[in-house]
A and B are shown apart, each in its own frame.
Chain A
């Protein structure tokens, strides 16, 4: 472990690596945990949003007079109230307004919002707002949107090109020329839902003190900045308080929503607190979703399986606005150089505006699409060359230390070890024996993938912590890092308690309150444990230093000799000199100076230079490696696929909280399972046809396989106690391993996600017809 201090007995560390209960567990099982929708303010109004019935239309007029006349209605807001303020990625692409201005660009885009004494009244008043639209032809296909003459979603770009991103390293043409086999295939990934169970909700107040908003956010400091900008307030007057968050997974809960801006504007107008809660259909119809992408992948391979070049072209349906899309495009390219050796790589990514709801981030952001394509193509080519799926991966797998052609530096890598674990399992060795005769056939597939941790990307990277010592020896830990359910609060408490030699119960973590906690970018890109974790360590060390000085004075020894363990402070090598932590706290706090013991720390990982435009340099602090075996049962007559076993060997450096690491791996794999087999928004002229949970079909209890998990310990030098990411790796590794397993069962390579029963049955039928025709021909 890289951060090991002076060794304190054989049991150190006391907490890191232990299977401890989560710090929020009791509140979550007894019903005490409060989420945004559970907060009420005295005198609050309820808000409801009126949304567009068209996917693309001019707004000719809005008449809210009838709604305003309704008893109980207090105010209505429209785009006019926001005076042209807009937001989005970068100064050139701030193309999204809180409410549609002049034009609606996707079905059910927010057009107006009503505040009323109760929610029923607000809902009914929405129906009384008269909006006159002039419908415009819509564009619902990214490739068609790129053509000349296609309807234009925005005027500020041509051919609906929202963003493009290009990388060119080595010489792909030379690489293809050196190859014995070159393949070009088209892959498609689905448009999927993050799937949190708690719909966006907030209660907002606006008064002379500024804005106070309780909101369900996994990145509360995003909305903090956006509200300050929108309402032209200093940041010191924007107070975002983060209750428990009922799941995030990127996108919607990173960003602000129309509801947030409107609630604050209505609170400003009415001088009353305003509350809203989205409904689930609203989430499935209007909220951010994963980009669906076309990935044209070209790969060169030598007879021995060596990959000589990869060229990818990505076309992503960006939906109606930019949002965080440029980052998505960057991520589709940057990570393709991991985890296999690659000297020649070219990547062109295009994000295209359409009249669909907005595409944005989701767990495995950007990476999952291109890694799926490359992973399947690699195996397909190995298949053609008669190379075993394990062998082709072992042949190309990187080993640490490694620097990719685009400047990603890998210091630890457990990929080969992981592949050895999955390939030495009986599930893999006996896969032909276990196949069964049908109609239900067992298929087994593998994958080996990588993901970044401690996402840094660009701009402001802050991640800070304050450890505040209470005079009774307990600790308030303040962080801007947010736990949307993944368990990071528990890990951060572990780190602080470990440093100070305290127990978990001694440390209380405060949930984010932007008036109190230090700025942090929030939860995304597997950054919390690594970056906020280092901040926590440093803040605790700072407290320890101050306490050690007080102890040194008492015992007249060098402060460096003071050690902290098991709620006790003692002098190294002098067991007679010891006292309870609580007593030292009192000595330090009640010293003549009236000292207040506080420590602050901030993360310093991953601050070296990078080139975002060219895709050069590290996108993360360190890199995890995931090897997975998936076993599925395929019913060859109905096409129904059931996942039976997932064996996942994950290199997360070192699991700080092993239970959480397991849980994250299982949860991410579950979402990967959804993407592989079940989930995809079905669109018709901009409308989401499957906008309820029953019709969208996320995996339920009955869909989940048995998990077997292996930790690969590599102790990365760039994470606290050697940690790397643990929350996204298996959402990358699951879809290719399942598709590989389906190939094992059916003999067919599926290239479009999700692989539905219908696709399987029709492909098997076509295969049979083709084989029959060939048989006839040869007769």
Chain B
């Protein structure tokens, strides 16, 4: 059966004003009873296309004004509330200065119209491998703070994604904020997106690199890849190879080759084939590291 839907399926709408109220609703546990959303740019589209199970009630989180914040402190780091929009992240001077890859990634997420509604938290909760915020968050060492009625936990971003469209979040769990460690001396980061039409395309490959350079050596490096595997991934081998290594074109190229080997792209996608994507991981990692090496 094929029907090209123009209308939303039927559901109820709730907009609680308190965080605890949302947790209480989610504690219900009945499958497809509730579905939360912030900006709704992914959820509304998926519902319209009947790509996901239709919940009885959608819960609009925008009543929880306290979750819309960007909080930066040089010693404790950065906190981004679950309701903070992509626009606000893209325009934040602190993020631009200390977490460049994230600001760059945010600017690459679709149109201004989408960025004005979508949230960074929603971008990762939707858990597509090409999400432009995921590689920067991986490279920057982010943690996702989640809550249930029973308490909170903090999840490392590399443990957050479990498969295409899937995360470790439990049905009764709600993301509260994303935390990033404080900037360290000599560190910088960059995000490079490969797509024919730039921001409006889903990334064919997204590469974020965070590197700390001291006395001509890479002291610490983290690399995040998007659209290079079923989920956004880190590249431990390439990172290990660079740790303590001299900043040189040779080392950069060797690490880029390793990162390419760590990618596991789909062999056949209508966007591009596996061989091409492997090659592009290498090109982009090389370019990102070269940029950071300055």
Show the binding face of A for B, using Cβ within 8 Å.
48-53, 107-108, 119-120, 123, 126-127, 129, 131, 277-279, 281-282, 285, 637-640, 677-678, 682, 689-690, 694-695, 697, 699-700, 702-703, 756-758, 761-762, 765
CB-nearest residue of chain B to A130: B1
B273 sits at the interface (CB 8 A): yes
Q: What is the CA–CA distance of A123 and B272 in the complex, to the nearest angstrom?
A: 34
Are B197's CB and A48's CB within 8 A?
no
| Chief secondary structure at chain A's binding surface | mixed
CB distance from A216 to the nearest CB of B (A): 15
Are B6's CB and A277's CB within 8 A?
yes
A residues less than 8 Å from B202 (CB atoms) = 694-695
Please list 8 pairs of residues, one from A and one from B, whose beta carbons are closer than 8 Å in the complex, sorted by A's number: A51-B1, A51-B2, A120-B8, A123-B5, A682-B270, A702-B198, A757-B272, A758-B272
CB-nearest residue of chain A to B283: A637
Q: What is the CA–CA distance of A762 and B2 in the complex, to the nearest angstrom?
A: 37
B14 sits at the interface (CB 8 A): no
Could you say which of B7, B49, B283 contacts A120, with CB atoms under 8 Å apart? B7
CB distance from A200 to the nearest CB of B (A): 12
Are B276's CB and A758's CB within 8 A?
yes
Are B200's CB and A700's CB within 8 A?
yes
Are B4's CB and A282's CB within 8 A?
yes
A residues less than 8 Å from B196 (CB atoms) = 640, 677-678, 697, 703, 756-757
Interface size class on chain B is: 20 to 34
B270-286, CB < 8 A from A:
270-273, 275-276, 279-280, 283-284
CB-nearest residue of chain A to B276: A758
A residues less than 8 Å from B6 (CB atoms) = 119, 123, 277, 279
B residues less than 8 Å from A278 (CB atoms) = 4
Show the binding face of B for A, using Cβ within 8 Å.
1-8, 10, 49, 194, 196-202, 204, 270-273, 275-276, 279-280, 283-284
Are B2's CB and A53's CB within 8 A?
yes
Q: What is the CA–CA distance of A637 and B281 in the complex, to the nearest angstrom?
A: 11
CB distance from A602 to the nearest CB of B (A): 41
Could you say which of A53, A702, A758, A765 contacts B1, with CB atoms under 8 Å apart? A53
Are A678's CB and B197's CB within 8 A?
yes
Are A108's CB and B2's CB within 8 A?
yes
CB-nearest residue of chain A to B110: A694
CB distance from A35 to the nearest CB of B (A): 15
Q: What is the CA–CA distance of A682 and B198 in the complex, to the nearest angstrom?
A: 20
B residues less than 8 Å from A127 (CB atoms) = 1, 3
B residues less than 8 Å from A279 (CB atoms) = 4-6
Are A757's CB and B3's CB within 8 A?
no
B residues less than 8 Å from A695 (CB atoms) = 202, 270-271
CB distance from A609 to the nearest CB of B (A): 46
A residues less than 8 Å from B279 (CB atoms) = 761, 765
Could you say which of A52, A678, A682, A689 contacts B2, with CB atoms under 8 Å apart? A52
Q: Assuming A131-B1, A640-B194, A700-B200, what are 8 further A-B pairs, CB within 8 angstroms? A: A48-B3, A119-B6, A123-B3, A281-B49, A639-B276, A695-B202, A757-B204, A765-B279
Q: What is the CA–CA distance of A50 and B5 in the complex, to the nearest angstrom?
A: 10
Q: What is the CA–CA distance of A638 and B272 in the complex, to the nearest angstrom?
A: 12
CB-nearest residue of chain A to B8: A120
A residues less than 8 Å from B283 (CB atoms) = 637-638
A residues less than 8 Å from B273 (CB atoms) = 758
Q: What is the CA–CA distance of A36 and B131 in the complex, to the nearest angstrom?
A: 37
Q: What is the CA–CA distance of A52 and B2 in the complex, to the nearest angstrom?
A: 6
Q: What is the CA–CA distance of A765 and B7 in the complex, to the nearest angstrom?
A: 48
Q: What is the CA–CA distance of A586 and B204 in the complex, to the nearest angstrom?
A: 69
B residues less than 8 Å from A277 (CB atoms) = 6
CB-nearest residue of chain B to A52: B2
Q: What is the CA–CA distance of A703 and B197 in the complex, to the nearest angstrom?
A: 7
Could you say which of B7, B8, B276 contacts A762, with CB atoms under 8 Å apart? B276
Q: What is the CA–CA distance of A372 and B66 in the complex, to the nearest angstrom?
A: 59
Q: What is the CA–CA distance of A107 and B1 in the complex, to the nearest angstrom?
A: 10
Q: What is the CA–CA distance of A278 and B3 in the complex, to the nearest angstrom?
A: 10
Q: Using known A-B contacts A638-B280, A758-B273, determine if residue A702 contacts B4 with beta carbons closer than 8 Å.
A: no
Q: What is the CA–CA distance of A690 and B270 in the complex, to the nearest angstrom?
A: 7
Are A762's CB and B201's CB within 8 A?
no
CB distance from A246 to the nearest CB of B (A): 16
B residues less than 8 Å from A52 (CB atoms) = 2
Q: What is the CA–CA distance of A637 and B2 in the complex, to the nearest angstrom?
A: 41
CB distance from B275 to the nearest CB of A (A): 7
Q: Using known A-B contacts A637-B283, A682-B270, determine if residue A762 contacts B194 with beta carbons closer than 8 Å.
A: no
